[in-house]
Amino acid sequence: MSVFNLDNQNVNLDNKIVAGLERLSQVFRILLWEKAKEHSLSPIQIQLLIFIRHHSADKTTISYLAQEFNFTKPTISDAIKILEQKKLIQKITDQTDTRSYTINLTTTGKKIVLETENFANPLTEIISAANDTAKIVLWENISNLIVTLNKLEIISVQRTCFNCKHYSIKNKTHFCNLLDLKLLTKDIRIDCGEFEMA
Ligand code: SF4
C-alpha cells in the first residue's frame, strides 16, 4: 500500500514519517535550484564543485563522482566538460595513464563554491534552534537510516564510521582506533576524511 495514498498515510505513523522524508528531500532540490539559477549552472554542476572543493584528489575522478552522485559516467563527464568550458575546473592528467584525470577547482570555481555552498543554511538555522537531546535523537536515527540504506545498496558511497576499518566497539561504546577516540552518537561521521573501507 502506498504511503502517498492519504487514507494509508494519515492513519499510520510509519507512513507519515516516510512521506515526511520525501517532503524534506524536496528542500535540498529547491534550495539548490535557487543558487543554480543565480549562477547559470545546473544543480549537479554546483554539487560537483562543492564536493571537489571539500574532498581529496582521489575522490575527484569521473568514476568516483558518478558513484557518489548516483549518475552515469557520461552524465558526470558532460557536467565536467561544461564546468571546464566555463573555466571553473581544470583536469589534472594522470602521469601513468593519460586517459585518467583528477579535477581541481580554478580560482573562479572556488569563488562560485564560496557563493553557493551555504545553500542549506535555512535548514541549518532550524536545526540549530532545537535542543541538544532532540538533535542527538535525530542524528542517531539519521545515521542509522543511512547505514541501513547503504546496506540495501540504495545509497552507494558511504564514508561513515560504521563502514570504516578504524571503527570498533570498546566497552560497549563506539570507538575510532585511528583517532584513539571514544565516539559518542554526536561524534559518528557520515563523511570522514580519514575513512578507509573496512
Ligand atoms: S577514521 Fe573517521 S570514519 Fe573511521 S572510525 Fe575514525 S572517525 Fe569514523
**CATH code for the domain of 99:** 1.10.10.10
Do 104 and 172 reside in the same domain of the chain? no
Is residue 28 within 8 Å of 42, Cβ to Cβ? no
**Full-model pTM:** 0.91
Q: Are residues 183 and 143 in the same domain?
A: yes
How many secondary structure helices (H) and strands (E) does the chain include? 8, 5
Distance 9 CA to ligand 1 centre (A): 38
Q: How far apart are CA 149 and CA 18, in angstroms?
A: 13
CA dihedral 9, 11, 17, 18 (to 10 degrees): -30
- Are 111 and 31 members of one domain? yes
Q: Which of 160, 178, 197 to mutate to test the pocket of ligand 1 (most atoms within 8 A of CB)?
A: 178
Residue 65, in any domain of the structure:
yes
Report the C-alpha gap between 74 and 144 in whole angstroms: 32
**What pLDDT score was predicted for residue 96?**
83
**40 within some domain:** yes
Is residue 73 a contact partner of residue 63, using CB atoms and an 8 Å limit? yes
Secondary structure (3-state) at 103 = strand
Report how far residue 157's alpha carbon sits from residue 21's, in angstroms, rounded to the nearest whole number.
20
- Ligand 1 nearest atom to the CA of residue 196, by list position: 4
For ligand 1, pick from 174, 176, 191 the residue to mutate: most ligand atoms within 8 Å of CB: 176
In a domain, 121, yes or no: no
Identify the DSSP state of 152.
T
Q: Which residue has the least CA distance to atom 8 on ligand 1?
A: 161
Bridge partners of 174, per DSSP, are 169, 183
β-pair partners for 164 = 197
pLDDT value of residue 13: 96
Question: Cell 562543492 sits at which residue?
Answer: 50
Let me know whether 71 and 143 are in one domain. no
Give domain status of residue 88, yes or no: yes
Q: Which domain holds residue 72?
A: 26-116
Q: Is residue 17 part of a domain?
A: no
Assigned domain for 3 exists? no
Identity (one letter) of the amino acid at 89? I
As for ligand 1, residues whose beta carbon falls within 6 Å of it are 161, 164, 166-167, 176, 178-179, 189, 192, 194-195
Both 145 and 168 in one domain: the answer is: yes
Domain-terminating residue out of 92, 116, 140: 116
Asked if residue 10 belongs to a domain, the reply is no
What's the domain count of the chain? Answer: 2
Give the model's pLDDT for residue 2. Answer: 92
Gap from CA of 118 to ligand 1 centroid (Å):
25
109-to-154, 173, 197 alpha-carbon distances in Å: 31, 42, 30
Q: Are residues 82 and 154 in the same domain?
A: no
The ligand 1 atom nearest the CA atom of 194: 1
Residue 51 lies in a domain: yes
The residue among 116, 140, 158 that closes a domain is: 116
Residues 135 and 77 in one domain: no
Which position has the grid cell 558532460?
78
User: Which of 150, 179, 183 for a ligand 1 pocket mutation test, highest count of atoms within 8 Å of Cβ?
Assistant: 179
What percent of the chain has pLDDT above 90? 90
Please report, as a single letter, which amino acid is at residue 114.
L
Burial of 75 from C-beta contacts in 10 A (0-12 / 13-18 / 19+): middle
* Residue whose CB lies within 8 A of the most ligand 1 atoms, among 55, 164, 170, for a mutation test: 164
Residue 159 sits at φ, ψ, to 5 deg, of -100, 55
**Residues facing residue 102 across a β-bridge:** 92
Residue with CA at minimum distance from ligand 1 atom 6: 176
Query: Does residue 183 share a domain with residue 135?
Result: yes
Average pLDDT, the chain: 94
Q: Which of 93, 116, 139 is the last residue of a domain?
A: 116
pLDDT in single tens digits along all 198 residues of the chain: 899 999 999 999 999 999 999 999 999 999 999 999 999 999 999 999 999 999 999 999 999 999 999 999 999 999 999 999 999 999 999 888 777 899 999 999 999 999 999 999 999 999 999 999 999 999 999 999 999 998 898 888 789 999 999 999 999 999 999 999 999 999 999 999 999 999
Q: How far apart are CA 19 and CA 11, in angstroms?
A: 12
